[in-house]
Amino acid sequence: MKIDNIINRGLDNASKSLADSFRKLSSGKRIDKASDDPAGLALAAKLNVETRILSKGSDNISYGQSAINIADSALQQVGEIDQRLAELATQSANGTLSDGQRVSLNQEFQALSQQKDQIVANTTFNDTQLLNNETSVAIETGSGTPINVDFGSVTSTAGLDISTQAGAKAVLDQVSANIDSVTQARADLGAADSRLSSAKSSVESRILGNQQAESTIRDVDVAQETASLLTAKIRQQANVALAAQSKISKGSVLDLLG
């Protein structure tokens, strides 16, 4: 009976090892349940959570860069309008023009000013106006301190008038200051975009590293597990043979006793 127990225990262990190997090879996972490797499972789970957070951070960076692109495109249009406004103001400030000519120049000036205000009002991202009240957005990268993006603001030229020479001279100073402000805002956005690009590269590198590390922990080594499978098969076959041999031996003894 003692020998039978040993044989049966060996057969059970071999069958369990065989089943485990089949399960791991079919799923492709070395750790398919907590009992496979508790410490490894905990580490893999931690890496997975970090990877998911970083992935969301990467998405946030992409959204931030999209907002920057929208704002920069609008600022480019605003800058071009401001340059035309400066040309009109310079022309109207010229002493050789008549009042009628200045009125015509002012009409174009007012129309462009309205167009500029419309561009500013319509420059939004996810219902947030980007070029009003110096909008500042914190981009959560999932890795460390958020990156702040300041979109700046555009000064309206509505209400300014270049229908007189004196008025045109005063407007020229204001429009020149607006041009400088828009240029600086675009430069700041460019710098923020570069920071976000660098952060995105870093985040994606960490994501890749985490995924590789998690794969190393979780995924099965096919060659090693195949060898374990063959070993389990041999042990199972050996125990089956021993069990059969044990029954034959018992039968022979009983025959002799009979």
Is 21 in the same domain as 133? no
Rounded to the nearest 10 degrees, the angle between the axes of helix 99-122 and helix 165-218 is 20
User: What's the pLDDT at 225?
Assistant: 54
Q: Which amino acid is at 101?
A: Q
Give the SS3 label for residue 136: strand
248 and 179 both lie in a single domain:
no
Is 103 a residue whose pLDDT tops 90? Answer: yes
Asked if residue 85 and residue 185 are part of one domain, the reply reads yes
Residue 94 lies in a domain: yes
133 and 20 in a common domain: no
Residue 55 inside a domain? The answer is yes
Specify if 34 maps to a domain: no
What pLDDT was estimated at residue 258? 43
Whether residues 199 and 239 fall in one domain: no
35 lies in some domain: no
- Same domain for 23 and 50, yes or no, is no
CATH of the domain at 163: 1.20.1330.10
Q: How many residues does the chain have?
A: 258
Rounded CA separation 234/21 (Å) = 13
Both 119 and 209 in one domain: the answer is yes
> What value does the CA radius of gyration of the chain take, rounded to a whole number of Å?
38
- Tell me what the pLDDT averaged over the chain comes to: 82
pLDDT tens-digit readout, 116-145: 999 999 999 998 889 976 678 999 999 888
124, 17: one domain: no
Regarding whether 94 and 153 lie in a shared domain, the answer is yes
Q: How does pLDDT run across 173-194, given as a tens digit for each residue?
A: 999 999 999 999 999 999 999 9
The residue range of the domain holding 58 is: 40-217
Verify that 104 and 175 share a domain, yes or no: yes
Does residue 192 sit within a domain? yes
Instruction: Pick 67 or 226 by higher pLDDT.
Output: 67
What are the angstrom distances between the C-alpha of 135 and each of 43, 86, 116, 191? Answer: 41, 26, 18, 16
Residues 232 and 209 in one domain: no
Percentage above 90 pLDDT, the chain:
57
What pLDDT shows up at residue 19? Answer: 60
Q: Encode pLDDT of 55-91 as tens digits.
A: 999 999 999 999 999 999 999 999 999 999 999 999 9
- Evaluate whether residue 33 is within a structural domain: no
Q: What is the mean pLDDT of residues 94-108?
A: 95
Place of tokens 């995105």: 200
Residues 80 and 140 in one domain: yes
Domain count, the chain: 2
Instruction: Give 142-163 pLDDT, tens digit per residue.
Output: 988 899 999 988 999 999 999 9
On whether residue 15 sits in a domain, the answer given is yes
With cut-offs at 50, 70 and 90, classify the pLDDT of residue 256: very low
| pLDDT at residue 253, rounded to an integer | 42
